[in-house]
Amino acid sequence: MSRVSHRKVAADEAGLRLDRWFRLHYPALPHARLQKLLRKGEVRVNGKRVKAAQRLNAGDEVRIPPLPDDMAAQTAKAPPLPKEEALAFLRPLILHEDDHLLVLNKPAGLPVQGGSKTRQHLDRHLRAAGGGNWRLAHRLDRDTSGALVVARTRAAAAKLGKLFASRAVRKVYWALVHGVPKPPQGKVDMALIKAMTRDGERVRAAHDGETDAQPAITHYNVVDRAAAVAAWVSLKPVTGRQHQLRAHMALIGHPIMGDGKYGGLEELPDGVAARLMLHARRVGFIHPVSGQRIDVTAPLPPHMEEAFRFFGFDPSRFDDGIA
């Protein structure tokens, strides 16, 4: 068991939510355990009780309570990348670029942040390329590909954070799911709660009265179908919970193909790769500095292009509105 300790928030960590700061530094600490520590007041920031969504400032002091040895292990930081190496990696991913922000097409399988055993991640490249100033405005799961917004300055990061928090950013995801949802257009309004399983952390439908439940709403639309076997769906999340789209589709009986956490690997058709078929297709928002409308579309990753061809779906014939 570790002892009580105190850690200062680094300048390049300003703006991070407290729970994401813990995930970065203590990846073995389950979210449910962190929530319990917060409720009991054992985790504090500058001596005060806080919630998981608290945004941190540079220089804030975080109280770390005693933790079991297996949860107290901190992230081993990889050596910094040379700036040119990081830029060479990022350049092919850029879909939009200006003085204040980037929109990248994140590859499937690339984590956005590091963990106890993860040294190759997008944030490492951003920090090296931007001299510590470039930072993620939001997150995508490791196996989800597509449009990801990055701030190039601290001022832009703060303004983008407010846009995402106020739900002023419109996002469209494409997915291939098992079966065909009925009705073909609908809304999933189902609160979610994080839970630990033998397969690691995931989310499930919350029961009435569970205090850690988070409201979650997703709109879906069936774009095309392959008999009763599969459907191409457009997903528009209103909220942005961890694994929200994956959990919601599974909870209505149509898990996303290739999703091992939520039943998407069962009865996977031959010829379809055993990889997550979820892509952040489009993102739209008002530029936080210029006031211009930003609307960026991310091309499909190769494994989803192959799956679209297998089912006879034509991605060029459909244009999602994000207004």
Instruction: Provide the token pair at 112.
Output: 């956005």
Supply the residues annotated as catalytic.
141
Q: Find where tokens 């917060």 sit.
A: 38
